[in-house]
Amino acid sequence: MITGYSTITLTQASIKKQLGDIALRFTEDVLIDIQRLIKQRVYEMKAFVYDFRLEEYACSSNQEFEVLEFPQQYIEKIDSLWVAGVHDPLIEKILSNPLSQILKRRVEF
């Protein structure tokens, strides 16, 4: 009876170790895949950020704000409409501009 108990105890310990080793290897593989994916995303985002079209669109957008007499009030008005979920021509204009469209596609990616 003691021999059987010892055998079961040793077998359980061996199985626990094997499962632990398998889980550890699996976890390491998953972490490597995640790290690879993150590095790829960072690389893609860097390329995206340095896209000259974005710079052109951002500069164009900024020029529109420079001619406004009270740009902060304009931003606050649009923000309050946006937060309230109001469909407004000002918001539609912003959402339809080239920069917004590029950023929207990028977020959906």
Q: What is the mean pLDDT of the chain?
A: 83
Cα–Cα nearest to 62, from 107, 99, 96: 99
For the chain, the domains span 1-50, 52-109
- Residue 2 pLDDT: 63
Instruction: Output the six-digit token pair for 49.
Output: 């950020």
Give the C-alpha distances (Å, rounded to integers) separating 55 from 6, 99, 101, 105: 72, 9, 14, 17
The predicted structure's pLDDT at residue 91: 85
Query: Is the pLDDT confidence value at 42 over 70?
Result: yes
Average pLDDT over residues 26-32: 94
* pLDDT for 62 beyond 70: yes
* Residues in contact with 104: Cβ distance below 8 Å, sequence separation at least 6, in sequence order: 95
